[in-house]
Chain A
Amino acid sequence: MKEYELTCIQCPIGCALTVKVDKDSVTVSGNSCPRGVKYGIKEVTEPSRTVTSTVAVEGGTIPRLSIKTRSDIPKDMIFSVMEQIKKTKAAAPVKTGDVIIKNVCDTGVDVIATKSIEKR
């Protein structure tokens, strides 16, 4: 059996979780809501994060467009996704929610705009 001491990052409370991994079961304690159980299990089996960054935007009222992965992606893919993001340019006008990179690095997750930028 393996035991992990984690801090839940699902919300700012940051519960101290204890995750016990047995042959065929994972149990979580220390959580104060069901999200903690979900996070605890995921963090020791397939950890993932949402990536946020910016891309250059041409012809807009400001030079950078903020973006995010629509949902979380595997943690070990963060830097590959960042490489793709750095190569990407958007063009104004952009609306919040517009897809900027489809299916980034074959994660099945799109990178979307988190800001609306008008044409200059």
Chain B
Amino acid sequence: MDVIRTEDLVKVYQMGEVEVRALDGVSLSIGAGDFLAVMGPSGSGKSTFMNIVGCLDRPTSGRYFLDGRDVSGLDRDARAEIRNEKIGFVFQSFNLLARTSALENVELPLVYASNAQSARQREEKARRCLRVVGLSGREDHQPSQLSGGQQQRVAIARALINEPTLILADEPTGNLDTKTSEEVMGVFQSLNHEGKTIVVITHETEIAEYAKRIVVFRDGRVVEDRAVAHRRAASRPVA
């Protein structure tokens, strides 16, 4: 079954007198276990697409099925619940809570989960996720004590903790150098290898080539949808 299926997604922003069609009829299916790279110049609509797929925003028209369920019409609270349970976010600027340990950052989604867990359970899960991204032993470090690559891996661990159906990464390597970018993409590849569905938004072709499939946006439409012929592999698989 498709993890993501969109039917004719349209998003219109009203900028004063002018109507801006950020998305102009996007129909896309992403199967379970897929690794998709979304590309396109700025203003192409890829961020709007990501916001809707991430349930941060609603489409003006069209339908969006996540895990077989139509989520395009859900209200704020229902979308918050979906984000918590089904989607793991990774951002360009890491978006970790400052002056908060790596462990607590990773635990954060569990705090807002509808099925409450004890502090001990939460901590145990968070430790496991940090181990997956190769950060065992750094549980008590605060973001300011970690390198950019490590911070992004903490963010990935946070995205994993609720065992989401989809990991959504928005320019995850935008703030990282080439070497750490490779490291982070390696983490995504190994997660995908274990069966996670991953969508990465990027404007760098090299980064996109770590994925299995590339979709290119332009002026709110999908203009290209192809499989990656020569897939890059991270030289050093992490943990």
Do A and B pair up? The answer is no
A contacts, CB < 8 Å to B: none
